[in-house]
Amino acid sequence: MFKEISAKELKENPFKLIGDDWGLVTVDTKEKVNMMTVSWGGVGIMWNKPVAFTFIRPQRYTFDYLENGEYFAISFLPDEYHDVHKICGSKSGRDIDKVKETGLTPVTDEKAPYFAESKVVLICRKMYGQSLNSDSVVDESVFSAYVPDGSDYHKMYISEIEKVLVKE
């Protein structure tokens, strides 16, 4: 069903995957699998490792689980599942069971859950986290568009991509 490849073998355009297709950051809360839509982020090389950059607001239900865990997955779904992102980006796992609501099929990896319907999966291990803040803003025009009241800062995680899975 899935084939493991190296990060450098990934043929999918990461700008399209993250910016257009969006991803699901997925964590195992021990009671349930929870996921949230992400459309900010990137991939690259840092500390001589393939990495993913993700940005999560502290108010999100997934944030505490991500903070307290070591691993998470980013699942990228085919176009026909784009409506899943509306649920996972607007509803909280505090209030609903997103897996049940979306009908996705969780797959248990030894480190992080992902979804059978995915076309690409990144299994990530957190290496670094830092909250964005106003002291580091260089371009006020961009910042003011996304943080109009100056108080809703995301936290950035830099995570090693330990495994890349692609649908066969």
| CATH number of the structural domain spanning residue 121 | 2.30.110.10
What is the C-alpha separation between 10 and 24, in angstroms, rounded?
18
Overall number of domains in the chain = 1
What is the C-alpha separation between 71 and 122, in angstroms, rounded?
11
Query: In this structure, what is the dihedral angle of CA atoms 157, 163, 167, 168, given to the nearest 10 degrees?
Result: 160
Q: What residues pair up with 128 in beta bridges, in sequence order?
A: 158
What is the C-alpha separation between 41 and 157, in angstroms, rounded?
9
In the prediction, which pLDDT does 164 show?
Answer: 97
Structure tokens belonging to residue 32: 């349930």
The answer to whether 71 touches 123, Cβ cutoff 8 Å, is yes
In the prediction, which pLDDT does 109 show?
Answer: 83
Query: In this structure, what is the dihedral angle of CA atoms 45, 51, 52, 56, given to the nearest 10 degrees?
Result: -110
Q: What is the pTM of this model?
A: 0.92
The answer to whether 157 touches 129, Cβ cutoff 8 Å, is yes
In the prediction, which pLDDT does 152 show?
Answer: 74
**Which parts of the chain sit beneath pLDDT 70?**
148, 150-151
Q: Which residues form the domain of 43? A: 2-167
